[in-house]
A and B are shown apart, each in its own frame.
Chain A
Amino acid sequence: MSDDIIAPLENYIINQIIKQPKRALKPDEPLISSGLIDSFNLVDLALFVEDTFGVRMDDSELNTQTFDTLDQLTALIHSRRS
């Protein structure tokens, strides 16, 4: 999957959301269901995705049914860009 998507996503999440820059995220690590990304941060993540990749996510998509891991979110962004 595209590195140009996953790397900035991971970078944003560890630096801006969970604020643990030293932490690495596995591509298949659950983000929402694990509690790593708080519901208060989902709107930030959606705005970041829109600004960075030009892909708009609807608020009804900000849940584990749509994505829970970096891999899944990357796939979603990838499919909407192409």
Chain B
Amino acid sequence: MPTFSDILKNHYEHEPEKVSVYLLHSGQPDFPLTYRQLIRGSAGYAGTYARQGLQPGEVIVLILHHGVDLLYAYFGAVLHGAIPAIMPFLTEKLLPERYRADLASLVSVTQPSAIVTYPDFESEVRAALKPGDPVRSVIISDQVVSPCEPDFLTLSGLKRKPEDIALLQHSSGTTGLQKGVALSHQAVFNQLESYRLALHMQADDVFVSWLPLYHDMGLIACYLMPILLGYPLVLMSPFDWVRAPYRLLQAVSRYKGTLSWLPNFAYNFSAQKIRDRDLEGVDLSSWRAISNCSEPMRWESHQAFYERFRTFGLRYEALTTCYAMAENVFAVTQGGIEGQVVVDKVDRDSLQIDRVARPPVNGKATIKMLSTGRPIHNVTVRAVDSHGKDVPDRQIGEIVLKSDCMLTEYYHRLDVTKKAFLDGWYLTGDFGYIADGEVYVTGRKKDLIIVGGKNIYPQDLEQLAMDVPGVHLGRVVAFGIFNETTGTEDVVLAAEVDETDVYERQRIADQIRQVVTRGSAVALRYVHIVSKHWLVKTSSGKTARSANREKFLAEMQKTGQVF
């Protein structure tokens, strides 16, 4: 079993001139990067890490934008035998002091030895650090050793073992940043080998992605997989994509892209916001698998995307599905490769009330469930009840899984790691059912909101809202509600106040919006200001998020507002 560095060495020695990554930046010419360039650039970073006295096995946090520095810094850490972890960059929406607090919480749990960033961001990083922190060096991107010949005899990355931790992957927010998923080289390779087969990967495959690299879908499927397995990757920035979603389609056409991964909202977003004039000459016929992944997927989103782009060569069979999570490195299932994605038409009430996927009943509402596909060959999936017993086919249970590509641990969080497993089965926290071997995901047991594929912990938002004057401590609840138009969840927050004046309440609502947005970079769709005792609490005094969500929806229905 090799490690990442063995594979990089192999690419360097056997196909140095092959283009590994085409970096795309809006307003600039495309930038092809060969394996030779990539590994030489990474060797420069590895040399810098060594000079700074960083040891193999130590964590290096990368705070860099999409671009060559990020690629070099990442694989430099690999070649040095260190553990890279990418932290999202500060955005305009987020308050710098909140960002510093998030970084400080990452540092406190993950205990990195170094942070890499740009010269103009150094002061932000240093401001988040305090005496006694484990961070020994803040490495500035313009003070790094120039790209150089790698000396594979001395690089410590080649001395790592397959079971050593290769990387950490965090989700966002205070809670997510304190829960780094630690993955071994072996787990990553087991995943890639199994997923490669599930995707029927072939010699002419080209990956095209706009996904951020701090997200598992971006990091594993659209970064490590192509680079390590030796397939070309066309990589654009999420910032460019969100401002010009047509660029993804142009890139697919230009590079004859075959594989992409998208969160569900991106199908709606692309279908709604791209004009024909930006698609002149675009040919999407090379695209063979566009996997809908990382948030609840909708049949309607696939239809909208297909109808919008079919005249540009998009094939219906190219619309595929995947169920994935960082804890399993990435894919759990894949659908749509060996035939179209299975669509299960079920009776809505049975699914929502009885929690069983039954065939449609004449005259009653039906739901078209998209199958996430079958488990990839190294993963076993079950749906179980609250006692861990299997539920029958078509009955909703919690999805649990076992594989040879599970996380080593939540880094430095033994308590959380233990709780995530039951008798060796990983508890996903997702609800779903299995029918004829196909896995359908129906909802979530865990309190998590997913907006545009990004995981958001409601407690982070609630904590922020409680700081607004007039809001009762502990009397705030945040939850997600699916928006059919955008194809993703909207975030709703309800807060109890004593204030009865309508204008004062509006002012408090405005302030909550502002504090939450600037504190978490999450925009709230609706702030529901309520009187004391509105919120539903459990017998132990905890906020019951799903009960409050139901209560909110019922109230909205009464007042005629559609959610």
Beta-carbon contact of B244 and A59 below 8 Å: yes
Q: Which residues from 255 to 297 on chain B have a C-beta closer than 8 Å to any C-beta of chain A?
A: 269, 273, 275
Interface string of B234-260 (1 = CB under 8 A from A): 000001101111010000000000000
Smallest Cβ distance from B294 to chain A, in angstroms?
A: 16
Beta-carbon contact of B517 and A35 below 8 Å: yes
Listed stretches B145-153, B414-422, B518-526; interface member: B518-526
List, in ascending order, chain B residues with CB within 8 A of A62's CB: 243
List, in ascending order, chain B residues with CB within 8 A of A33's CB: 92
Beta-carbon contact of A59 and B243 below 8 Å: yes
Beta-carbon contact of A60 and B26 below 8 Å: yes
Does B29 sit at the interface, judged by CB under 8 A?
no
Beta-carbon contact of B93 and A59 below 8 Å: no
List, in ascending order, chain B residues with CB within 8 A of A60's CB: 26-27, 243
Complex-state Cα separation, A44 to B269, whole angstroms: 10
Residue on B nearest A64 in the bound complex, by CB: B92
List, in ascending order, chain B residues with CB within 8 A of A19's CB: 525
List, in ascending order, chain A residues with CB within 8 A of B247's CB: 59
Q: Which residues from 20 to 67 on chain A have a C-beta closer than 8 Å to any C-beta of chain B?
A: 22-23, 32-36, 38-40, 42-44, 46-47, 58-60, 62, 64
Residue on B nearest A61 in the bound complex, by CB: B243
Residue on B nearest A33 in the bound complex, by CB: B92
Does B311 sit at the interface, judged by CB under 8 A?
no
Complex-state Cα separation, A73 to B239, whole angstroms: 20
Q: Which residues from 2 to 30 on chain B have a C-beta closer than 8 Å to any C-beta of chain A?
A: 26-27
List, in ascending order, chain B residues with CB within 8 A of A58's CB: 27
Beta-carbon contact of A35 and B93 below 8 Å: yes
Smallest Cβ distance from A36 to chain B, in angstroms?
A: 8
Given A44-B273, A60-B27, are A38 and B240 neighbors across the interface (CB < 8 Å)? no
Does B511 sit at the interface, judged by CB under 8 A?
no
Given A39-B242, A40-B242, A44-B273, are A34 and B26 neighbors across the interface (CB < 8 Å)? no
Complex-state Cα separation, A59 to B27, whole angstroms: 9
Complex-state Cα separation, A62 to B275, whole angstroms: 17
Residue on B nearest A46 in the bound complex, by CB: B243
Beta-carbon contact of A22 and B506 below 8 Å: yes
Given A33-B92, A35-B93, A64-B92, are A43 and B244 neighbors across the interface (CB < 8 Å)? yes
Interface string of A63-79 (1 = CB under 8 A from B): 01000000000000000
Complex-state Cα separation, A36 to B247, whole angstroms: 25
Does B162 sit at the interface, judged by CB under 8 A?
no
The residue that A59 contacts in the complex, of B26, B510, B525, with Cβ under 8 A, is: B26
Residue on B nearest A39 in the bound complex, by CB: B242
Complex-state Cα separation, A35 to B510, whole angstroms: 12
Given A22-B506, A33-B92, A34-B514, are A43 and B523 neighbors across the interface (CB < 8 Å)? no
Smallest Cβ distance from B247 to chain A, in angstroms?
A: 8
Beta-carbon contact of A42 and B243 below 8 Å: yes
Beta-carbon contact of B452 and A40 below 8 Å: yes
Beta-carbon contact of A35 and B506 below 8 Å: no
Beta-carbon contact of A35 and B514 below 8 Å: yes
Residue on B nearest A44 in the bound complex, by CB: B273
Complex-state Cα separation, A20 to B275, whole angstroms: 27
List, in ascending order, chain B residues with CB within 8 A of A44's CB: 273
Complex-state Cα separation, A13 to B524, whole angstroms: 15
List, in ascending order, chain A residues with CB within 8 A of B510's CB: 23
Complex-state Cα separation, A69 to B244, whole angstroms: 21
Complex-state Cα separation, A59 to B244, whole angstroms: 6
Interface string of B491-516 (1 = CB under 8 A from A): 00000000000000010001000100
Complex-state Cα separation, A35 to B269, whole angstroms: 20
The residue that B269 contacts in the complex, of A40, A47, A64, with Cβ under 8 A, is: A40
Smallest Cβ distance from B255 to chain A, in angstroms?
A: 19
List, in ascending order, chain B residues with CB within 8 A of A32's CB: 92
Residue on B nearest A47 in the bound complex, by CB: B273
List, in ascending order, chain B residues with CB within 8 A of A40's CB: 242, 269, 452
| In the complex, the 5 A-B pairs of residues with the closest C-beta atoms, listed nearest first | A59-B244, A35-B93, A35-B517, A59-B243, A62-B243
Could you pull out 9 A-B pairs where Cβ atoms are within 8 angstroms? A35-B514, A35-B517, A35-B518, A39-B93, A42-B242, A44-B273, A59-B26, A59-B244, A59-B247
Question: Which A residues contact B (CB, under 8 angstroms)?
Answer: 19, 22-23, 32-36, 38-40, 42-44, 46-47, 58-60, 62, 64
